[in-house]
Structure 1
Amino acid sequence: MLIMKYTITGATGHLGKEIVTAMTKLVPMKEITLGVHTLSKALNFQTQGMTVKEIDYDNPATLAPVIANSDVLIYVPSKSHDSFSRVTEFENVVKAAEANSVQHMLVMGFIADQEDNPFALSAFYGYVPRRLAASSLHYTVMRNALYADPLVPYLPELIKRQNVIYPVGDQALSFISLHDSANAFAHVATDSSLLEDGRIYTLTQSEAYTMPALAEVISKVTGAKIGYQPVSLQEFSDLYNENNEGPMLASMYAAGAKGLLDEVSLDYEIIMGKPAQSLPSFLQTKY
Protein backbone atom coordinates (compact mmCIF):
# COMPACT_ATOMS: atom_id res chain seq x y z
CA MET A 1 0.00 0.00 0.00
CA LEU A 2 1.37 3.40 -1.00
CA ILE A 3 2.09 5.62 2.01
CA MET A 4 1.75 9.36 1.38
CA LYS A 5 3.12 12.31 3.29
CA TYR A 6 0.75 15.23 3.74
CA THR A 7 2.29 18.23 5.47
CA ILE A 8 0.14 21.06 6.83
CA THR A 9 1.52 24.39 8.02
CA GLY A 10 -0.39 26.72 10.32
CA ALA A 11 -2.03 23.64 11.80
CA THR A 12 -3.04 25.30 15.08
CA GLY A 13 -4.73 28.30 13.44
CA HIS A 14 -8.44 28.61 12.67
CA LEU A 15 -8.30 27.20 9.15
CA GLY A 16 -5.35 24.90 9.82
CA LYS A 17 -7.14 23.06 12.61
CA GLU A 18 -10.18 22.55 10.41
CA ILE A 19 -8.01 21.21 7.58
CA VAL A 20 -6.31 18.76 9.94
CA THR A 21 -9.70 17.49 11.11
CA ALA A 22 -10.93 17.15 7.53
CA MET A 23 -7.75 15.33 6.47
CA THR A 24 -8.04 12.76 9.27
CA LYS A 25 -11.34 11.64 7.76
CA LEU A 26 -9.67 10.87 4.43
CA VAL A 27 -6.16 9.57 5.16
CA PRO A 28 -4.44 7.66 7.99
CA MET A 29 -3.14 9.94 10.73
CA LYS A 30 0.36 8.51 10.36
CA GLU A 31 0.51 10.12 6.90
CA ILE A 32 -0.03 13.62 8.31
CA THR A 33 2.83 15.88 9.40
CA LEU A 34 2.08 19.21 11.01
CA GLY A 35 4.31 22.27 11.03
CA VAL A 36 3.52 24.55 13.98
CA HIS A 37 5.02 27.55 15.71
CA THR A 38 4.26 26.35 19.24
CA LEU A 39 4.45 22.63 19.92
CA SER A 40 2.38 22.86 23.11
CA LYS A 41 -0.64 23.98 21.04
CA ALA A 42 -0.52 20.78 18.98
CA LEU A 43 -0.16 18.12 21.68
CA ASN A 44 -3.64 16.77 21.00
CA PHE A 45 -2.69 16.13 17.37
CA GLN A 46 0.47 14.34 18.47
CA THR A 47 -1.45 12.04 20.79
CA GLN A 48 -3.67 11.08 17.85
CA GLY A 49 -0.66 9.73 15.96
CA MET A 50 0.24 12.66 13.75
CA THR A 51 3.84 13.85 13.42
CA VAL A 52 4.19 17.36 14.84
CA LYS A 53 7.28 19.48 14.25
CA GLU A 54 8.16 23.05 15.12
CA ILE A 55 8.88 25.51 12.33
CA ASP A 56 10.16 29.08 12.30
CA TYR A 57 9.59 30.85 8.99
CA ASP A 58 12.33 33.34 9.84
CA ASN A 59 14.76 30.44 10.10
CA PRO A 60 14.50 28.53 6.79
CA ALA A 61 16.68 25.75 8.19
CA THR A 62 13.71 24.66 10.32
CA LEU A 63 11.54 24.12 7.25
CA ALA A 64 13.51 21.34 5.57
CA PRO A 65 13.02 18.67 8.27
CA VAL A 66 9.28 19.33 8.26
CA ILE A 67 8.41 19.54 4.57
CA ALA A 68 11.06 17.32 2.98
CA ASN A 69 9.65 14.70 0.60
CA SER A 70 6.05 15.81 1.12
CA ASP A 71 3.70 14.44 -1.50
CA VAL A 72 1.40 17.37 -0.76
CA LEU A 73 2.38 20.44 1.25
CA ILE A 74 -0.71 22.34 2.37
CA TYR A 75 0.47 25.86 3.06
CA VAL A 76 -1.60 28.07 5.35
CA PRO A 77 0.31 31.30 6.05
CA SER A 78 0.96 32.58 9.53
CA LYS A 79 -1.02 35.54 10.80
CA SER A 80 0.51 38.91 10.01
CA HIS A 81 -0.91 42.28 9.06
CA ASP A 82 1.31 43.27 6.15
CA SER A 83 2.14 41.80 2.78
CA PHE A 84 5.91 42.15 3.13
CA SER A 85 6.03 39.80 6.13
CA ARG A 86 3.90 37.22 4.38
CA VAL A 87 5.82 37.44 1.12
CA THR A 88 9.09 36.95 3.01
CA GLU A 89 7.65 33.90 4.75
CA PHE A 90 6.28 32.54 1.48
CA GLU A 91 9.63 32.97 -0.25
CA ASN A 92 11.28 30.86 2.45
CA VAL A 93 8.64 28.15 2.06
CA VAL A 94 8.83 28.06 -1.75
CA LYS A 95 12.62 27.85 -1.76
CA ALA A 96 12.58 25.11 0.89
CA ALA A 97 9.92 23.20 -1.07
CA GLU A 98 11.98 23.38 -4.26
CA ALA A 99 15.11 22.22 -2.46
CA ASN A 100 13.49 19.38 -0.51
CA SER A 101 11.54 17.37 -3.08
CA VAL A 102 8.02 18.61 -2.32
CA GLN A 103 5.86 17.06 -5.03
CA HIS A 104 2.90 19.47 -4.89
CA MET A 105 1.97 22.64 -2.98
CA LEU A 106 -1.66 23.36 -2.10
CA VAL A 107 -1.76 27.01 -1.09
CA MET A 108 -4.33 29.20 0.64
CA GLY A 109 -5.35 32.28 -1.33
CA PHE A 110 -8.00 34.97 -0.94
CA ILE A 111 -10.35 36.69 -3.38
CA ALA A 112 -8.82 40.11 -2.55
CA ASP A 113 -5.90 39.59 -4.93
CA GLN A 114 -6.67 42.06 -7.73
CA GLU A 115 -4.09 44.60 -8.91
CA ASP A 116 -6.24 47.57 -7.85
CA ASN A 117 -7.27 46.11 -4.49
CA PRO A 118 -6.51 48.38 -1.48
CA PHE A 119 -6.55 45.53 1.06
CA ALA A 120 -3.32 45.54 3.06
CA LEU A 121 -2.65 41.88 2.22
CA SER A 122 -3.71 42.07 -1.42
CA ALA A 123 -0.11 42.30 -2.62
CA PHE A 124 0.66 39.00 -0.90
CA TYR A 125 -2.37 37.21 -2.32
CA GLY A 126 -1.62 38.55 -5.78
CA TYR A 127 2.01 37.48 -5.41
CA VAL A 128 1.22 33.87 -4.47
CA PRO A 129 0.08 32.47 -7.85
CA ARG A 130 2.62 34.50 -9.78
CA ARG A 131 5.48 33.29 -7.59
CA LEU A 132 4.31 29.70 -7.82
CA ALA A 133 4.07 29.97 -11.61
CA ALA A 134 7.70 31.11 -11.69
CA SER A 135 8.84 28.24 -9.44
CA SER A 136 9.72 24.67 -10.36
CA LEU A 137 6.89 23.37 -8.17
CA HIS A 138 3.60 21.73 -9.02
CA TYR A 139 0.93 23.78 -7.27
CA THR A 140 -2.77 24.45 -6.75
CA VAL A 141 -4.27 27.56 -5.14
CA MET A 142 -7.46 27.68 -3.05
CA ARG A 143 -8.87 31.25 -3.04
CA ASN A 144 -11.20 31.71 -0.08
CA ALA A 145 -14.02 34.22 0.14
CA LEU A 146 -14.49 36.06 3.44
CA TYR A 147 -14.86 33.68 6.37
CA ALA A 148 -18.43 33.52 7.65
CA ASP A 149 -17.34 32.34 11.10
CA PRO A 150 -16.46 35.76 12.62
CA LEU A 151 -20.04 36.86 12.04
CA VAL A 152 -21.26 34.50 14.77
CA PRO A 153 -19.56 36.10 17.82
CA TYR A 154 -20.31 39.51 16.24
CA LEU A 155 -24.08 38.97 16.25
CA PRO A 156 -24.72 40.22 19.84
CA GLU A 157 -22.97 43.50 18.99
CA LEU A 158 -24.99 43.88 15.80
CA ILE A 159 -28.20 43.25 17.76
CA LYS A 160 -27.17 45.93 20.25
CA ARG A 161 -26.31 48.37 17.45
CA GLN A 162 -29.46 47.38 15.52
CA ASN A 163 -27.40 47.81 12.38
CA VAL A 164 -24.77 46.21 10.18
CA ILE A 165 -22.00 48.81 10.00
CA TYR A 166 -19.54 47.47 7.38
CA PRO A 167 -18.38 50.43 5.25
CA VAL A 168 -18.97 48.88 1.83
CA GLY A 169 -21.81 51.06 0.54
CA ASP A 170 -24.03 49.36 -2.01
CA GLN A 171 -21.56 46.57 -2.82
CA ALA A 172 -21.83 42.90 -1.85
CA LEU A 173 -19.62 40.52 0.13
CA SER A 174 -19.05 36.82 -0.56
CA PHE A 175 -18.54 34.25 2.21
CA ILE A 176 -17.38 30.68 2.94
CA SER A 177 -17.24 28.87 6.28
CA LEU A 178 -13.94 27.59 7.66
CA HIS A 179 -15.47 24.11 7.79
CA ASP A 180 -16.44 24.12 4.13
CA SER A 181 -13.11 25.61 3.07
CA ALA A 182 -11.19 22.97 5.01
CA ASN A 183 -13.22 20.13 3.52
CA ALA A 184 -12.48 21.45 0.04
CA PHE A 185 -8.76 21.65 0.87
CA ALA A 186 -8.76 18.06 2.11
CA HIS A 187 -10.61 16.69 -0.90
CA VAL A 188 -8.35 18.45 -3.38
CA ALA A 189 -5.23 17.34 -1.48
CA THR A 190 -6.25 13.69 -1.56
CA ASP A 191 -7.81 13.41 -5.03
CA SER A 192 -5.33 13.42 -7.92
CA SER A 193 -8.08 14.36 -10.37
CA LEU A 194 -8.70 17.58 -8.41
CA LEU A 195 -5.07 18.34 -7.56
CA GLU A 196 -4.37 19.87 -10.96
CA ASP A 197 -1.06 21.61 -11.52
CA GLY A 198 -1.63 25.35 -11.90
CA ARG A 199 -5.34 25.14 -11.05
CA ILE A 200 -6.82 28.00 -9.03
CA TYR A 201 -10.06 27.20 -7.22
CA THR A 202 -12.28 29.89 -5.70
CA LEU A 203 -14.27 28.82 -2.63
CA THR A 204 -17.50 30.72 -2.05
CA GLN A 205 -21.10 30.18 -1.13
CA SER A 206 -23.67 30.36 -3.92
CA GLU A 207 -24.66 33.96 -3.22
CA ALA A 208 -22.99 37.24 -2.30
CA TYR A 209 -24.84 39.65 -0.01
CA THR A 210 -25.32 43.39 -0.10
CA MET A 211 -25.41 44.89 3.37
CA PRO A 212 -29.20 45.34 3.44
CA ALA A 213 -29.50 41.68 2.39
CA LEU A 214 -27.00 40.66 5.09
CA ALA A 215 -28.97 42.67 7.64
CA GLU A 216 -32.14 40.86 6.57
CA VAL A 217 -30.46 37.46 7.00
CA ILE A 218 -29.23 38.41 10.47
CA SER A 219 -32.68 39.72 11.40
CA LYS A 220 -34.28 36.41 10.46
CA VAL A 221 -31.65 34.36 12.29
CA THR A 222 -31.67 36.38 15.53
CA GLY A 223 -35.24 37.62 15.60
CA ALA A 224 -33.95 41.16 16.09
CA LYS A 225 -34.60 44.02 13.70
CA ILE A 226 -31.27 44.82 12.02
CA GLY A 227 -30.74 47.60 9.46
CA TYR A 228 -27.74 48.97 7.63
CA GLN A 229 -25.98 52.09 8.85
CA PRO A 230 -22.35 52.08 7.72
CA VAL A 231 -19.60 53.85 9.62
CA SER A 232 -16.64 55.45 7.88
CA LEU A 233 -13.50 53.45 7.17
CA GLN A 234 -11.65 55.41 9.85
CA GLU A 235 -14.39 54.81 12.40
CA PHE A 236 -14.31 51.10 11.61
CA SER A 237 -10.51 51.03 12.00
CA ASP A 238 -10.75 52.80 15.35
CA LEU A 239 -13.57 50.55 16.60
CA TYR A 240 -11.78 47.28 15.83
CA ASN A 241 -8.13 48.11 16.41
CA GLU A 242 -7.43 45.24 18.79
CA ASN A 243 -3.84 44.04 18.26
CA ASN A 244 -3.45 46.90 15.75
CA GLU A 245 -5.67 45.09 13.26
CA GLY A 246 -7.96 48.06 12.65
CA PRO A 247 -6.22 49.56 9.58
CA MET A 248 -5.87 46.13 7.97
CA LEU A 249 -9.56 45.33 8.50
CA ALA A 250 -10.62 48.76 7.24
CA SER A 251 -8.54 48.28 4.11
CA MET A 252 -10.37 45.02 3.46
CA TYR A 253 -13.74 46.76 3.56
CA ALA A 254 -12.33 49.51 1.35
CA ALA A 255 -11.82 46.70 -1.16
CA GLY A 256 -15.39 45.58 -0.55
CA ALA A 257 -16.63 49.11 -1.27
CA LYS A 258 -14.94 48.88 -4.68
CA GLY A 259 -16.87 45.69 -5.48
CA LEU A 260 -13.77 43.50 -5.16
CA LEU A 261 -15.05 41.04 -2.55
CA ASP A 262 -18.30 39.89 -4.16
CA GLU A 263 -17.02 37.01 -6.30
CA VAL A 264 -19.21 33.91 -6.51
CA SER A 265 -17.91 30.63 -7.91
CA LEU A 266 -19.14 27.09 -8.52
CA ASP A 267 -15.73 25.62 -7.67
CA TYR A 268 -16.80 24.37 -4.24
CA GLU A 269 -19.58 22.37 -5.85
CA ILE A 270 -17.13 21.01 -8.44
CA ILE A 271 -14.88 19.79 -5.62
CA MET A 272 -17.48 18.53 -3.16
CA GLY A 273 -20.40 17.59 -5.40
CA LYS A 274 -22.76 19.94 -3.54
CA PRO A 275 -23.02 23.67 -2.86
CA ALA A 276 -21.35 25.20 0.16
CA GLN A 277 -23.58 25.74 3.19
CA SER A 278 -25.53 28.95 2.69
CA LEU A 279 -24.96 31.91 4.97
CA PRO A 280 -28.47 31.79 6.51
CA SER A 281 -28.09 28.07 7.22
CA PHE A 282 -24.60 28.55 8.66
CA LEU A 283 -25.65 31.37 10.99
CA GLN A 284 -28.80 29.51 12.05
CA THR A 285 -26.70 26.45 12.91
CA LYS A 286 -24.08 28.37 14.85
CA TYR A 287 -26.19 31.04 16.58
Structure 2
Amino acid sequence: MTILLTGASGGFGRRAVELLLDRLPAHELILMTRTPEKLADFAARGADIRYGDFDDYESLKSAFTGADKVLLISASKVGSRIPQHTNAINAARAADVRHVVYTSYIGKGPDNPSLAVGDHRSTEDLLRESGMTWTVLRNAQYTDALVEAGARVPLRTGRWLSSTGSGRMPLVTRDDCVDSAVEVLSTPGHEDVIYEITGPELLTYREVAETIAEVAERPIEYLDVDEEAMYAHFDSMGIPRVAVADQSVDAVPWSSEDMVTVERAIRLGFMEVASQDVEKLTGKRPKSLREFTREREGHLKSLRG
Protein backbone atom coordinates (compact mmCIF):
# COMPACT_ATOMS: atom_id res chain seq x y z
CA MET A 1 0.00 0.00 0.00
CA THR A 2 1.27 3.46 -0.92
CA ILE A 3 0.61 6.27 1.57
CA LEU A 4 0.75 9.96 0.67
CA LEU A 5 1.11 12.74 3.25
CA THR A 6 0.22 16.33 2.42
CA GLY A 7 2.18 19.09 4.14
CA ALA A 8 5.01 16.64 4.71
CA SER A 9 7.60 19.35 5.40
CA GLY A 10 5.62 20.80 8.33
CA GLY A 11 6.00 19.89 11.98
CA PHE A 12 3.14 17.37 11.98
CA GLY A 13 4.13 15.89 8.64
CA ARG A 14 7.82 15.42 9.38
CA ARG A 15 7.18 13.58 12.63
CA ALA A 16 4.60 11.38 10.92
CA VAL A 17 7.09 10.50 8.19
CA GLU A 18 9.78 9.58 10.72
CA LEU A 19 7.40 7.24 12.52
CA LEU A 20 6.09 5.69 9.31
CA LEU A 21 9.65 4.99 8.14
CA ASP A 22 10.06 2.81 11.24
CA ARG A 23 7.13 0.68 10.01
CA LEU A 24 7.12 0.83 6.22
CA PRO A 25 9.69 0.78 3.42
CA ALA A 26 10.43 4.27 2.16
CA HIS A 27 9.30 3.48 -1.39
CA GLU A 28 5.73 3.13 -0.06
CA LEU A 29 5.66 6.79 1.01
CA ILE A 30 4.79 9.76 -1.20
CA LEU A 31 5.54 13.08 0.49
CA MET A 32 3.77 16.15 -0.86
CA THR A 33 4.91 19.69 -0.15
CA ARG A 34 5.15 23.14 -1.72
CA THR A 35 8.88 23.11 -0.87
CA PRO A 36 10.38 19.79 -2.03
CA GLU A 37 13.90 20.92 -1.16
CA LYS A 38 12.97 20.73 2.53
CA LEU A 39 12.47 16.97 2.19
CA ALA A 40 15.83 16.14 0.65
CA ASP A 41 16.72 13.99 3.68
CA PHE A 42 13.67 11.78 3.12
CA ALA A 43 14.36 11.63 -0.61
CA ALA A 44 17.82 10.27 0.22
CA ARG A 45 16.15 7.51 2.23
CA GLY A 46 14.02 6.49 -0.75
CA ALA A 47 10.73 8.34 -0.27
CA ASP A 48 8.98 9.82 -3.33
CA ILE A 49 8.91 13.61 -2.99
CA ARG A 50 6.28 15.48 -5.01
CA TYR A 51 5.23 19.09 -5.37
CA GLY A 52 1.65 19.93 -4.51
CA ASP A 53 -0.26 23.08 -3.53
CA PHE A 54 -3.80 23.13 -2.13
CA ASP A 55 -4.52 26.16 -4.34
CA ASP A 56 -3.43 24.30 -7.50
CA TYR A 57 -5.80 21.46 -8.36
CA GLU A 58 -3.67 20.04 -11.18
CA SER A 59 -0.61 19.83 -8.93
CA LEU A 60 -2.67 17.88 -6.39
CA LYS A 61 -4.06 15.48 -8.98
CA SER A 62 -0.54 14.78 -10.20
CA ALA A 63 0.84 14.39 -6.67
CA PHE A 64 -1.90 11.96 -5.60
CA THR A 65 -1.46 9.64 -8.59
CA GLY A 66 -0.58 6.15 -7.40
CA ALA A 67 -1.50 6.72 -3.74
CA ASP A 68 -3.83 4.26 -2.02
CA LYS A 69 -4.24 6.18 1.22
CA VAL A 70 -3.80 9.92 1.89
CA LEU A 71 -3.17 11.76 5.14
CA LEU A 72 -4.83 15.11 4.49
CA ILE A 73 -3.22 17.44 7.03
CA SER A 74 -5.61 20.35 7.18
CA ALA A 75 -4.74 23.81 5.88
CA SER A 76 -4.21 26.44 8.55
CA LYS A 77 -6.16 29.56 7.56
CA VAL A 78 -9.79 30.20 8.45
CA GLY A 79 -11.65 31.19 5.29
CA SER A 80 -9.23 29.37 2.98
CA ARG A 81 -9.62 25.80 4.19
CA ILE A 82 -12.86 24.88 2.45
CA PRO A 83 -11.79 25.69 -1.16
CA GLN A 84 -8.34 24.21 -0.51
CA HIS A 85 -9.73 21.02 0.99
CA THR A 86 -12.29 20.78 -1.82
CA ASN A 87 -9.41 20.80 -4.30
CA ALA A 88 -7.60 18.10 -2.33
CA ILE A 89 -10.61 15.79 -1.98
CA ASN A 90 -11.62 16.17 -5.64
CA ALA A 91 -8.05 15.51 -6.74
CA ALA A 92 -7.79 12.43 -4.52
CA ARG A 93 -11.00 11.04 -6.00
CA ALA A 94 -9.81 11.77 -9.55
CA ALA A 95 -6.53 9.95 -8.78
CA ASP A 96 -8.42 6.88 -7.51
CA VAL A 97 -7.28 7.24 -3.92
CA ARG A 98 -9.20 4.70 -1.81
CA HIS A 99 -8.96 6.15 1.72
CA VAL A 100 -8.45 9.68 3.09
CA VAL A 101 -7.42 10.28 6.72
CA TYR A 102 -8.17 13.86 7.71
CA THR A 103 -6.89 15.95 10.63
CA SER A 104 -10.02 17.74 11.81
CA TYR A 105 -10.89 19.62 15.03
CA ILE A 106 -13.02 18.75 18.03
CA GLY A 107 -16.24 20.52 18.90
CA LYS A 108 -19.83 19.65 19.73
CA GLY A 109 -23.02 20.62 18.05
CA PRO A 110 -24.27 21.96 14.73
CA ASP A 111 -24.30 25.51 16.15
CA ASN A 112 -20.68 25.62 17.27
CA PRO A 113 -19.58 29.29 16.95
CA SER A 114 -15.94 28.54 16.16
CA LEU A 115 -15.03 29.49 12.59
CA ALA A 116 -12.41 26.74 12.59
CA VAL A 117 -14.95 24.10 13.59
CA GLY A 118 -17.18 25.27 10.73
CA ASP A 119 -14.34 24.81 8.25
CA HIS A 120 -13.59 21.32 9.50
CA ARG A 121 -17.19 20.11 9.60
CA SER A 122 -17.67 21.27 6.00
CA THR A 123 -14.59 19.28 5.02
CA GLU A 124 -15.92 16.22 6.83
CA ASP A 125 -19.15 16.55 4.84
CA LEU A 126 -17.15 16.66 1.61
CA LEU A 127 -15.38 13.45 2.57
CA ARG A 128 -18.65 11.65 3.34
CA GLU A 129 -19.98 12.66 -0.06
CA SER A 130 -16.78 11.79 -1.96
CA GLY A 131 -17.36 8.07 -2.44
CA MET A 132 -13.95 7.31 -0.88
CA THR A 133 -13.56 5.70 2.52
CA TRP A 134 -12.40 8.13 5.20
CA THR A 135 -11.20 8.49 8.76
CA VAL A 136 -11.61 11.73 10.69
CA LEU A 137 -9.19 12.58 13.49
CA ARG A 138 -10.78 15.41 15.49
CA ASN A 139 -7.73 16.83 17.25
CA ALA A 140 -8.22 19.01 20.31
CA GLN A 141 -6.33 22.28 20.72
CA TYR A 142 -2.61 21.61 20.88
CA THR A 143 -1.00 21.86 24.30
CA ASP A 144 2.06 23.01 22.34
CA ALA A 145 0.16 26.05 21.02
CA LEU A 146 -0.78 27.38 24.44
CA VAL A 147 2.55 26.60 26.09
CA GLU A 148 4.87 27.70 23.30
CA ALA A 149 2.86 30.51 21.64
CA GLY A 150 0.00 31.50 23.92
CA ALA A 151 2.21 31.87 26.98
CA ARG A 152 4.80 34.18 25.40
CA VAL A 153 3.05 37.49 26.10
CA PRO A 154 1.75 36.50 29.58
CA LEU A 155 5.24 35.45 30.65
CA ARG A 156 6.62 38.83 29.57
CA THR A 157 3.81 41.00 30.92
CA GLY A 158 2.54 38.96 33.85
CA ARG A 159 -1.06 39.15 32.52
CA TRP A 160 -3.13 36.47 30.75
CA LEU A 161 -6.34 37.71 29.12
CA SER A 162 -9.06 35.26 28.14
CA SER A 163 -12.74 35.27 27.20
CA THR A 164 -13.16 31.50 27.77
CA GLY A 165 -14.85 31.93 31.16
CA SER A 166 -15.13 28.60 32.98
CA GLY A 167 -15.28 26.57 29.76
CA ARG A 168 -12.93 23.63 29.39
CA MET A 169 -10.81 22.20 26.58
CA PRO A 170 -9.15 18.74 26.46
CA LEU A 171 -5.69 19.96 25.41
CA VAL A 172 -3.60 17.37 23.57
CA THR A 173 0.03 17.41 22.44
CA ARG A 174 0.85 17.45 18.76
CA ASP A 175 2.94 14.32 19.24
CA ASP A 176 -0.07 12.41 20.56
CA CYS A 177 -2.04 13.59 17.51
CA VAL A 178 0.71 12.43 15.16
CA ASP A 179 1.05 9.08 16.92
CA SER A 180 -2.70 8.51 16.54
CA ALA A 181 -2.58 9.41 12.84
CA VAL A 182 0.31 7.03 12.20
CA GLU A 183 -1.59 4.17 13.84
CA VAL A 184 -4.57 4.81 11.58
CA LEU A 185 -2.37 5.06 8.48
CA SER A 186 -0.32 1.94 9.13
CA THR A 187 -2.90 -0.52 10.51
CA PRO A 188 -5.99 -2.05 8.87
CA GLY A 189 -9.51 -0.89 9.53
CA HIS A 190 -10.62 2.59 10.63
CA GLU A 191 -12.90 3.05 7.62
CA ASP A 192 -15.61 5.71 8.01
CA VAL A 193 -14.81 6.33 11.69
CA ILE A 194 -14.46 9.56 13.68
CA TYR A 195 -11.87 9.58 16.47
CA GLU A 196 -11.81 12.30 19.15
CA ILE A 197 -8.09 12.93 19.72
CA THR A 198 -7.94 14.55 23.15
CA GLY A 199 -5.65 14.85 26.13
CA PRO A 200 -6.23 13.16 29.51
CA GLU A 201 -7.99 16.09 31.23
CA LEU A 202 -10.45 18.89 30.62
CA LEU A 203 -8.87 22.22 31.55
CA THR A 204 -9.91 25.84 31.85
CA TYR A 205 -7.54 28.48 30.52
CA ARG A 206 -7.18 29.70 34.10
CA GLU A 207 -5.80 26.27 35.05
CA VAL A 208 -3.48 26.41 32.04
CA ALA A 209 -2.17 29.83 33.10
CA GLU A 210 -1.67 28.67 36.69
CA THR A 211 0.31 25.61 35.59
CA ILE A 212 2.54 27.63 33.27
CA ALA A 213 3.11 30.28 35.95
CA GLU A 214 4.08 27.62 38.47
CA VAL A 215 6.51 25.80 36.19
CA ALA A 216 8.04 29.01 34.81
CA GLU A 217 8.22 30.50 38.31
CA ARG A 218 6.65 33.70 37.03
CA PRO A 219 3.48 35.15 38.61
CA ILE A 220 0.72 35.61 36.03
CA GLU A 221 -2.47 37.53 36.73
CA TYR A 222 -5.39 35.86 34.96
CA LEU A 223 -7.99 38.32 33.63
CA ASP A 224 -11.42 37.04 32.59
CA VAL A 225 -12.51 39.55 29.93
CA ASP A 226 -15.18 39.92 27.24
CA GLU A 227 -14.69 39.42 23.51
CA GLU A 228 -14.32 43.14 22.81
CA ALA A 229 -11.34 43.22 25.17
CA MET A 230 -9.85 40.17 23.48
CA TYR A 231 -10.09 41.79 20.05
CA ALA A 232 -8.47 44.94 21.46
CA HIS A 233 -5.70 42.84 23.01
CA PHE A 234 -4.95 41.08 19.72
CA ASP A 235 -5.17 44.40 17.86
CA SER A 236 -2.52 45.82 20.19
CA MET A 237 -0.24 42.91 19.29
CA GLY A 238 -0.67 43.60 15.58
CA ILE A 239 -2.56 40.38 14.92
CA PRO A 240 -4.91 40.72 11.92
CA ARG A 241 -8.61 40.16 12.56
CA VAL A 242 -9.05 38.23 9.31
CA ALA A 243 -6.59 35.56 8.17
CA VAL A 244 -3.93 36.77 5.74
CA ALA A 245 -1.17 34.91 3.94
CA ASP A 246 1.95 34.03 5.91
CA GLN A 247 0.79 35.80 9.04
CA SER A 248 2.68 35.23 12.27
CA VAL A 249 2.88 37.75 15.08
CA ASP A 250 4.94 36.94 18.17
CA ALA A 251 4.78 33.22 17.26
CA VAL A 252 0.97 33.41 16.88
CA PRO A 253 -0.04 32.29 13.34
CA TRP A 254 -3.82 32.76 13.70
CA SER A 255 -6.17 35.66 13.06
CA SER A 256 -8.08 37.16 15.99
CA GLU A 257 -11.44 36.13 14.47
CA ASP A 258 -10.24 32.53 14.59
CA MET A 259 -9.00 32.75 18.18
CA VAL A 260 -11.92 34.73 19.62
CA THR A 261 -14.54 32.42 18.10
CA VAL A 262 -12.67 29.39 19.49
CA GLU A 263 -12.70 31.06 22.91
CA ARG A 264 -16.45 31.66 22.53
CA ALA A 265 -16.95 27.97 21.75
CA ILE A 266 -14.93 27.02 24.83
CA ARG A 267 -16.86 29.45 27.05
CA LEU A 268 -20.21 28.05 25.87
CA GLY A 269 -19.17 24.42 26.45
CA PHE A 270 -18.91 23.35 22.81
CA MET A 271 -15.32 22.12 23.21
CA GLU A 272 -15.81 20.04 26.35
CA VAL A 273 -15.18 16.64 24.76
CA ALA A 274 -13.77 13.73 26.75
CA SER A 275 -12.38 10.68 24.96
CA GLN A 276 -10.00 7.74 25.38
CA ASP A 277 -9.37 7.39 21.65
CA VAL A 278 -5.65 8.26 21.85
CA GLU A 279 -5.02 5.40 24.27
CA LYS A 280 -7.27 3.10 22.25
CA LEU A 281 -5.27 3.80 19.08
CA THR A 282 -1.73 4.05 20.46
CA GLY A 283 -1.85 1.93 23.59
CA LYS A 284 -0.50 4.75 25.74
CA ARG A 285 -2.00 7.48 27.86
CA PRO A 286 -1.77 10.93 26.24
CA LYS A 287 0.59 13.41 27.86
CA SER A 288 -0.83 15.83 30.41
CA LEU A 289 -0.37 19.61 30.41
CA ARG A 290 1.89 19.41 33.46
CA GLU A 291 4.09 16.74 31.91
CA PHE A 292 4.46 18.74 28.71
CA THR A 293 5.07 22.00 30.57
CA ARG A 294 7.79 20.39 32.71
CA GLU A 295 9.54 19.31 29.52
CA ARG A 296 9.48 22.94 28.33
CA GLU A 297 10.51 24.43 31.67
CA GLY A 298 13.77 25.91 30.42
CA HIS A 299 12.10 27.45 27.39
CA LEU A 300 9.33 28.96 29.50
CA LYS A 301 11.77 30.46 31.97
CA SER A 302 13.69 32.02 29.07
CA LEU A 303 10.52 33.92 28.07
CA ARG A 304 9.97 35.59 31.44
CA GLY A 305 9.82 39.36 31.46
Length, aligned pairs only: 280
Q: Aligned pair in 2 of structure 1 residues 239, 47: CA closer, same or farther (>3 Å)?
A: farther
Q: Does 1:238 align with 2:235?
A: yes
Deviation at 1:227, TM superposition (A): 3.7
Residue aligned with 1:260, SS: coil
Residue aligned with 1:187, SS: helix
Deviation at 1:239, TM superposition (A): 4.1
Aligned partner of 2:156 among 160, 164, 183: 160
**Cα distance in structure 2, aligned partners of 1:245 and 1:23:** 33
**Cα distance in structure 2, aligned partners of 1:179 and 1:141:** 17
For the Cα contact (< 8 Å) 2:144–2:174, is it kept in 1?
A: yes
Q: Does 1:209 align with 2:219?
A: no
Aligned to 1:252: 262
Residue aligned with 1:237, SS: helix
Alignment map for 1:94-173 (pairs within 5 Å): 94-112=89-107, 114-154=109-149, 155-173=151-169
Residue aligned with 2:115, SS: coil
Deviation at 1:165, TM superposition (A): 1.9
Aligned to 2:289: 279
For the Cα contact (< 8 Å) 1:171–1:259, is it kept in 2?
A: yes
**Cα distance in structure 1, aligned partners of 2:86 and 2:58:** 13
**Cα distance in structure 1, aligned partners of 2:55 and 2:284:** 40
For the Cα contact (< 8 Å) 2:108–2:271, is it kept in 1?
A: no
Normalized against structure 2, the TM-score is what?
0.85
Aligned partner of 1:58 among 31, 55, 76: 55
Q: Aligned pair in 2 of structure 1 residues 108, 125: CA closer, same or farther (>3 Å)?
A: same
Deviation at 1:166, TM superposition (A): 2.4
For the Cα contact (< 8 Å) 2:169–2:272, is it kept in 1?
A: yes
Amino acid at match of 1:25: D
For the Cα contact (< 8 Å) 1:39–1:54, is it kept in 2?
A: yes
**Cα distance in structure 2, aligned partners of 1:217 and 1:182:** 24
For the Cα contact (< 8 Å) 1:114–1:126, is it kept in 2?
A: no
Q: Kindly provide the CA deviation profile for residues 90-128 of structure 1, in whole angstroms up to 9, marking residues without a partner as x.
A: 222222222222121111100147422222222221112
For the Cα contact (< 8 Å) 1:118–1:252, is it kept in 2?
A: yes
Q: Does 1:189 align with 2:182?
A: no
Unaligned runs of 5+ in 1: none
Aligned to 1:269: 279
Residue aligned with 1:181, SS: helix
Aligned partner of 1:76 among 50, 54, 73: 73
Normalized against structure 1, the TM-score is what?
0.90
Root mean square deviation, CA, Å: 2.0
**Cα distance in structure 2, aligned partners of 1:107 and 1:120:** 18
Moved over 4 A (4+): none
Unaligned runs of 5+ in 2: 241-246, 248-253, 298-305
**Cα distance in structure 2, aligned partners of 1:79 and 1:205:** 21
**Cα distance in structure 1, aligned partners of 2:213 and 2:10:** 30
Deviation at 1:162, TM superposition (A): 2.7
Deviation at 1:133, TM superposition (A): 1.5
Aligned to 1:67: 64
Residue aligned with 2:71, SS: strand
Aligned partner of 2:222 among 216, 224, 228: 228
